[in-house]
A and B are shown apart, each in its own frame.
Chain A
Amino acid sequence: MPRTGRRQLITATVVVGTLTAAAACSDPSAGQDASGNTTITVALAANPQMKTAESLISDFEQKNPGIKVKFTTLPENDLRPAVTKDVATKAGQYDVAMIGSYEVPIWAKNGWIVPLDSYVSKDTAWDENDVLQPIKDIVSADGKLYAAPFYGSSSFLFYRKDLAKKAGVTIPQKPTWQQVAAAAAKLDDKKDGVSGICLRGLPGWGQNLASLTTVINTFGGRWFDEKWQPQLTSPATEKAVKFYVDLLRAHGQQDAAKDGWEGCLQQIAQGKTAMWYDDTVFAGSALQEATAQVKNNLGFAMAPVDQTKASGWLWSWGLGITQSSKHKDAAWKFISWATSKEYIKLAGTKAGWDSVPPGSRTSTYSIPQYQSAAKSYADLTLASINAANPKQPTVDPVPYTGVQYVQIPEFTDIGDYVSQQVAGAIAGTQSVQQALKKSQSYTESVVKKAGYLK
């Protein structure tokens, strides 16, 4: 019997080892040359605008004979691990990677992506000065451009003009959160199944925490003080989180902890919510997917504020060249094509003006067709992007940059933990105080371990 016992142990080890092995494996294949042609591999996030770019690639290949482009399109959440793993281990699978503005400075510091300045200065048609300055800033590090912005965005308020009129509510162009909360109470129509407001409740640093952090900023709260002491239990932060959670529980969408931006986009498009605070880039998608009734009555306003002048966030998806790429010149040619003025016109004519990547270039906003297609939100998008201030997003000074995130590598870890606790408060399984107390001690332990807090 000890014989079988040992065999069972081995079997068990092998079986269970297989399960854990999956976590440790990495993708095997790497980019390679076809005979005569240069093939570059591009990793993209599977958002609507990027899918449009993928479908229009024949235009690029026509203009650049000899360069073939291979796409790896992944959902945002899978793109980040796949590309990070690749560049961090110098596996060299991707020549061009799409990265968010949160990653750019971290990757630049680690030497995973190369500065684009030398390419930009040679490529006059790309016209560096046409790129929106605030967006250019967040995809740069130490004064060097590290990613070419594919699109840029801020956050603002979506609302239904018809419902507001019916309820006798006016939403000003620059509302305060108190006005929005009062409007939500009036617009909340439980009988018709229309919620007053839709806000992100789903855990994730890029989900509920993005919206919530802008509220914390404008209520006078902050993530850290200048000495990196976490400020999550400070009265201002607590007031902001309590406001967010109370608003969501009283007049928000039902079952709020399950909805990220995807859920809210669906609800506004189907007329299930009267207001929605989210990314400016979804204005086009919301109008595209909306029922006729919603489409004709969707209005927009600046991100609601409390103590700051503006509170919109700032985000960009950019295209960068990996350090490990063997075809950097070809890679730049692709980036230059995908982020050029011509591409925006091409996408507009071929795929429709709602699927144009917004918020990257000034010239986009002077294209007549775009102006008429996006007249309800184009100017507000531009104004929101220009009003956002990632260097000083809060009332009190902070040691970090970033509006809806903290620009440190440890933030994904901290953010996920805190967003889980906040989701718990939204779901009602714990109080805001409990959620923040746990968040505070977790954050403190992480920044201590990482050496920020002495």
Chain B
Amino acid sequence: MTTISQPAVPVKSPTRRGSWSRRAPLLPALVITLVLTQIPFALTIWYSLQHWNLLNPGHKGFAGLDNFRTTFGDDTFWKAIKNTVVLTGGATIASMLVGLVLAMLLQKKFPGRGIARTLAITPFFVMPVAVTLFWRSAMFDPSFGLLGWLTDSVGLPRVNWLSEQSMLSIIMITSWRWTPFAMLVLLAGLQALPDDQLEAARVDGANWWQQFRNVVLPHLRPFLELTALLLSMNIIQTFGEIALLTAGGPAFGTTNITYYVYLRAFNSFDFGTASAYGLVTLVLTIALALPALRLLSGIFQKEGRR
């Protein structure tokens, strides 16, 4: 981007040609992306203005803003938004905290570190459906699940995890799956920290907490921001865990937006309102994604200056 800021009047045409020869190879990818995303997007807008229930073809026709009125008046939709925020926020924070602790531990040199690192990353590579089915019976089950044994051993009563603590359960399994990802990024960040800075801090007499607070954390900040961004972008789309563990219930207690749009479209076959739900979600997500993307580009600029 430096070329743009130069006073470029005499060299204008070669620059343009140069930039095009650089950009042209990217064009097919751009075109494919636009075709694959923007045509369905435009169709979604069109559908959202229609009465279109697949099972009831007789009622098809222009609906105006009816579907949007339904969307804003639907308590369940707002509940799904609230659930999405709780789930995304909770799982992101939990994954980052545990991931940071694990990264700090695994950064230290100890025998068997390679094996420990591999094991710590594993959850991320197991298929989500397999993980979910395993957790369902081996972890959450009140009579023979591991969590029941855990609560027993600290003297707490058995918990009906998926019925009574459904949202907590979903947050637990989601953060279990995403913690290794957070750990990987943060570990890379920790390894980029020059040893001499910590050594200097030690020479100056800083204790462990001061080293962490004043040297490690500021260094990790861009990595933490990046992790938070990537995690929340992924966790916001959580679907499989919800579909397999709770079917969005009880009483829509674990229905996030992704699952709710799915229910509207592929259970009720009401494509008109499902499209409207999708669009409202899109606007809300852009409102959230813009500051996040600005943050991301800030991170890269900082990296570039270094």
Q: Which residues of A contact B (CB under 8 A)?
A: 4, 8-9, 11-21, 23-25, 80-81, 84-85, 88, 106, 110, 193, 201-205, 207, 254-258, 260, 266, 272, 409-410, 412-413, 416-417, 419-421, 423-430, 435, 450
Contact = CB atoms under 8 A, between A and B. Distances in A.
A18 B161 CA distance: 34
A247 to B, nearest CB: 15
Contact of B143 (A11, A13, A272): A272
Given A24-B275, A428-B163, A255 B140 contact: yes
Interface string B237-255: 1000000011111111101
B266 A203 contact: no
A193 B76 CA distance: 36
B173 to A, nearest CB: 13
Nearest to A449: B70
Contacts of B297: 4, 8
B251 A420 contact: yes
Given A23-B274, A81-B266, A254-B143, A14 B33 contact: yes
Interface of B: 33-34, 36-38, 40-41, 43-44, 47, 53-57, 59, 76, 136-137, 140-144, 158, 160-164, 166, 237, 245-253, 255, 261-263, 265-270, 274-275, 278-279, 281-282, 285-286, 289-290, 293-294, 297
B118 to A, nearest CB: 32
B246 A257 contact: yes
Given A8-B293, A13-B286, A423-B250, A412 B269 contact: yes
Contacts of B160: 254-257, 427
Contacts of B55: 84, 88, 106, 110, 409, 412
A259 to B, nearest CB: 9
A426 B253 CA distance: 13
B106 to A, nearest CB: 31
16 contacts: A8-B297, A17-B282, A18-B36, A20-B40, A20-B279, A23-B261, A23-B278, A205-B267, A256-B160, A257-B162, A258-B136, A410-B268, A417-B76, A420-B255, A423-B250, A430-B251
Contacts of B161: 255
Contacts, number: 174
Nearest to A88: B54
Contact of B286 (A16, A413, A425, A428): A16
Contacts of A427: 160, 163-164, 166, 249-251, 253
B122 to A, nearest CB: 26
A396 B33 CA distance: 58
B142 A255 contact: yes
B250 A203 contact: yes
Given A84-B269, A255-B162, A426 B36 contact: no
Contact of B278 (A20, A80, A205): A20
A15 B289 CA distance: 9
B290 A9 contact: yes
A424 B250 contact: yes
B247 A12 contact: no
A88 B60 CA distance: 12
Given A85-B54, A409-B53, A416-B268, 6 more contacts: A16-B286, A88-B269, A254-B158, A254-B160, A255-B140, A255-B142
Contacts of A416: 263, 267-268
A413 B37 contact: no
A289 B220 CA distance: 53
Contacts of B263: 416
Contact of A193 (B34, B143, B255, B282): B143
B40 A202 contact: no
Contacts of A207: 247
Contact of B40 (A15, A24, A425): A24
Contact of A435 (B166, B245, B251): B251
B162 A110 contact: no
Contacts of A17: 37-38, 40-41, 282
